[in-house]
Amino acid sequence: MVAVGDELLLGDIVNGNAAWLGAQLAAVGAPVVHSSMVGDTVERIATAVRRALEDADVVVITGGLGPTSDDLTREAVAQVAGVGLVRSPTIEQELRAKFAAYGVDMPQAVLKQADVPEGAAPLDNPVGTAPGLRIEVGGALVFAMPGPPHELTAVFAVASAELRTLSGGVGLTRTLHCAGTGESAVAEVVERTVTVPEGVDLAYLAGGGVVRVRLTTVAPSEADADAVLAPLLDALADALGSAVFGRDDDSLPGVVVARLLAAGSTVAVAESLTAGLVGAALTEVPGSSAVFRGGLQVYATDLKAGLAGVPQAVLDAHGAVSPQTAAALAEGVRSRLGATYGLALTGVAGPDEQEGHPPGTLHLAVAGPGGTRTRSVRLPGDRARVRLLAVTSALDLLRRTLP
């Protein structure tokens, strides 16, 4: 993939097209081997396309197909193919018809979009004015597609059938989601458990306190692909045990809500350093109203006693940042909000210490029918990362407590 545009290099726009296209191409059995971004000059675009053709049978370019002076993808593709640009009467007629339908005068610059590299076939763009292009270059295929995401989606639909036919199969990705265990520890278990067969790609993706183990393959059909991946996934799930909270499209909040629903249980949350983020994560899940009773944001120390009912003696003896206070918060919010489970967090997000505790200190507790369970961890990163990881840690502790 080659993404064209100075705005991408300058950070004005995030290249979300790469993520979307990567998933779409994998699904049609054409996994991406290289992705790059390049600025708006003919020479640089042409160089990037030539390099891409050294690595792959198909090159997909996004961006640079509009009507302005900095839209230079057509010229660059023509240069790579060693051909000139020719005006397409069909595209010109379609452009004139579209503007007539809009009821506005067509700027002459728009007709630039009717110029195509000689030998290229246009790809219909039903939601915009810039058609995509398909051209063969030295036995390889080059597809050029518009940069605006809604136009890219529409034009890719035209090309995807041919790409699927060329690949001779479909791509399938299966994923295990793990929490409470680091990436290196997960990898160690994975690599002593399975030997990944040829044609299967294994990858680890870590972020937000979650580690994903991803397996990808291409096969003649989805059933054939799943027959290869399913046994591997099952073996890994058995080996990783309680670290695994879900598969494929599962999310940690979604799994927790589903488990609560299945048990007919409810949860209430008392949050200090996260100030409502755990409750927000749970209520992002459809159906969470059946299990989420509510939450108390007890950021100030006095509210831990006043709202959540933490005994003053606990605060005096152990401080606001302690496992004892976390346990009392969980028990208090469970009682006061009438929930099956009370979940509580207290700690130090940073950047400053609190009560002598360094940033990243986190104490968690879950109070339920079986008693109260606490956990204390030290989280890495800045304030935003500590708060994000605290949410994952809290939901994972609740998950591990649920029947």
Return the amino acid letter for 64: G
124 shares a domain with 36: yes
**Planar angle of CA 257, 263, 265, nearest 5 degrees:** 70
Tell which of 134, 167, 200 closes a domain. Answer: 167
The DSSP line for 52-102 is HHHH-SEEEEES--SSSTT--HHHHHHHHHT--EEE-HHHHHHHHHHHHHH
Q: Output the pLDDT for position 130.
A: 94
99: domain CATH number is: 3.40.980.10
- Spell out the residues 6+ positions from residue 49 whose beta carbon is closer than 8 angstroms to its own: 2, 59, 61, 76, 77, 80, 142
Report the alpha-carbon distance of residue 322 to residue 283 in Å, rounded. 27
Does residue 9 sit in the same domain as residue 120? yes
174 shares its domain with 149? no
Helices 149-167, 16-27: crossing angle, 10 deg rounding: 30
Residues 349, 272 contacting (CB under 8 angstroms) = no
Looking at the structure, tell me whether residues 161 and 174 fall in a common domain.
no
Same domain for 50 and 97? yes
Q: Are residues 85 and 214 in the same domain?
A: no
Cα distance between residue 212 and residue 14, in whole Å: 23
Starting at the earlier edge strand, list the strands of the sheet with 121-123. 36-38, 2-4, 58-62, 140-145, 132-137, 121-123
CATH number at residue 302: 3.90.950.20
Question: Same domain for 281 and 163?
Answer: no
The whole-angstrom separation of Cα 343 and Cα 296 is: 10
pLDDT tens, position by position, for the chain (403 residues)? 999 999 999 999 999 999 999 999 999 999 899 999 999 999 999 999 999 999 999 999 999 999 999 999 999 999 999 999 999 999 999 999 999 998 999 999 999 999 999 999 999 999 999 999 999 999 999 999 999 999 999 999 999 989 988 888 889 999 999 999 999 999 999 999 999 999 999 999 999 999 999 999 999 999 999 999 999 999 999 999 999 999 999 999 999 999 999 999 999 999 999 999 999 999 999 999 999 999 999 999 999 999 999 999 999 999 999 999 999 999 999 999 999 999 999 999 999 999 999 999 999 999 999 999 999 999 999 999 999 999 999 999 999 999 9
Instruction: From 208, 223, 247, give the residue that closes a domain.
Output: 247
Q: Decide which of 113, 143, 167 is a domain's last residue.
A: 167
C-alpha of 198 from chain center: 27
Q: Name the residue among 396, 178, 359 with its Cα closest to residue 281.
A: 396
Residue 203's nearest CA partner among 55, 26, 53 is 26
**208 and 275 in a common domain:** no
Alpha-carbon gap, residue 271 to 281, rounded angstroms: 13
Residue 333 is predicted with a pLDDT of: 98
Domain ranges, residue 141: 2-167
pLDDT attached to residue 169:
84
- Whether residues 243 and 268 share a domain: the answer is no
Residues 222 and 83 in one domain: no
Strands (E), 334-398: 341-347, 361-368, 371-378
* Domains of the chain: total: 3
Tokens of 373: 């369970």
Give pLDDT, residue 168.
80
Q: How far apart are CA 150 and CA 154, in angstroms?
A: 6
Whichever domain contains 225, its CATH number is: 3.30.70.2860
pLDDT at position 167, please?
86
- Alpha helices (H) along 198-322: 222-240, 252-263, 277-283, 301-306, 312-318
Do the strands 292-297 and 267-271 form a parallel or antiparallel pair, or are they unpaired?
parallel
DSSP state of 277: H
Same domain, 32 and 162: yes
- Please indicate, yes or no, whether residues 162 and 174 belong to a single structural domain of this protein: no
